[in-house]
Amino acid sequence: MEQKQETLLEIHDLSVSFRMYDAGLEQKDLQVISDLHLRIRPGEIVAVAGSSGSGKSLLASAILGILPANATVRGHVHYRGKELTPEMQRELRGKEIALVPQSVAYLDPLMRVGKQVDGHRRPKPTEKRRSLFRRLELPERTETLYPFQLSGGMARRVLVSTALLTEASLVIADEPTPGMSLDQALEALRMFREMADAGKSVLLITHDIDLAFEFADRVAVFYAGTTVEIAPVEDFRTGPQALRHPYSQALWRALPQNGFTPIDGFQPYAGSLPRGCLFAPRCPYATDRCRAEIPPVREVRGGEVRCFHGA
């Protein structure tokens, strides 16, 4: 899994907030992503891991420019060295940048599956699509069905096929494997790996950390709307002693094969984030400085960590 050093997608200080009604007609801004950093190079899979509500799926929507009208985005997103403006997002969406959405409701209920996957491409990629369907264990008749005739797992495999059929340089796969059998999930991720090995890039958003460890090059750990650590996947395979952030270490220990040790406390709600380090209320190493200051992102041992004590 050789990594090239040029950057395809680079995100700096990304923040996303939503204008919402509070009490009565009063409105407030709810910040759900804060000062997020991430970069993806050609030829690699970057897995995004973290608990529900940590901002993983919102990151995908922010990159593609498909957030609702009440969202405000701040910070910088660069694609191939250029600022990703709304105009560029519209131009690249579905072409240079493809999405495997988390919800199967993205499929058009009034269009047969084969026609949806083929899209407006000329000539029609029928044989390539059928080959993808076979690899993902979709019956040949699937192309003639409507989405409501598919099981949840079949619908997800159709969505994966749609992204793999594009010529996109970056695929954002948002929870692509729920509803699939283990063999089907492995095959889907194997296809993403083949795509990356051919020079494309994959941002894999997933709860299935074990599968991510099998196929990713690097893992970005999200907590309460920001990245707390980005490290080579080998560090996560090695164990907590190779990781830099206390939350990453706790996440590793919480896996069933590593003791299933629960993490005390809860991830904070976006409307009541603590002062200072977001993990400080749950961290066994927290100091007064951690509770008062937001730690910067630092490079440590070939990875990145947002922690005063990360080493």
How would you label 184-194 residue by residue, b for 16+ Cβ within 10 Å and e otherwise? bbebbbebbbe
pLDDT of 80 strictly over 90: yes
What's the rounded Cα separation, in Å, for the pair 280 and 294?
10
Determine the 3-state secondary structure of 24 from DSSP.
Answer: coil
How much is the mean pLDDT over the chain? 94
Question: Which pLDDT does position 82 carry in this prediction?
Answer: 96
What's the rounded Cα separation, in Å, for the pair 8 and 217?
15
pLDDT of 185 strictly over 70: yes
pLDDT of 154 strictly over 90: yes
Whether residue 123 has a cis bond before it, omega within 30° of 0: yes
Of the pLDDT bands very low, low, confident and very high (cuts 50, 70, 90), residue 261 is very high
Question: Which pLDDT does position 120 carry in this prediction?
Answer: 77
Contact yes or no for 204/46 (Cβ under 8 A):
yes
Q: Token pair 């694609």 is at which residue?
A: 79
Contact yes or no for 245/221 (Cβ under 8 A):
yes
Q: At what angle do helices 182-197 and 126-135 cross, to 10 degrees?
A: 130
What's the rounded Cα separation, in Å, for the pair 91 and 145?
30
What's the rounded Cα separation, in Å, for the pair 199 and 195?
7
Contact yes or no for 285/246 (Cβ under 8 A):
yes
Task: Name the pTM for this structure.
Answer: 0.93
Rg (CA), the chain: 20
pLDDT of 153 strictly over 80: yes
Interval 107-135 mean pLDDT: 91
Closest by Cα among 81, 100, 103 to 195: 100
pLDDT of 100 strictly over 90: yes
Strands 71-79, 226-232: pairing is: unpaired
What's the rounded Cα separation, in Å, for the pair 175 and 204?
7
Contact yes or no for 182/130 (Cβ under 8 A):
no
Question: Which pLDDT does position 217 carry in this prediction?
Answer: 98
Question: Which pLDDT does position 4 carry in this prediction?
Answer: 45
Identity of the amino acid at 151: S
Closest by Cα among 69, 9, 68 to 36: 9
DSSP letter for 286, please: -
What's the rounded Cα separation, in Å, for the pair 95 and 78?
17
What's the rounded Cα separation, in Å, for the pair 116 and 87?
25
pLDDT of 183 strictly over 50: yes
* Percentage of the chain modeled with pLDDT above 90: 86
How far does Cα 143 stand from its chain's mean position? 28
Domains, the chain, in order of start with CATH, read: 9-96+168-306 (3.40.50.300)
Of the pLDDT bands very low, low, confident and very high (cuts 50, 70, 90), residue 5 is low
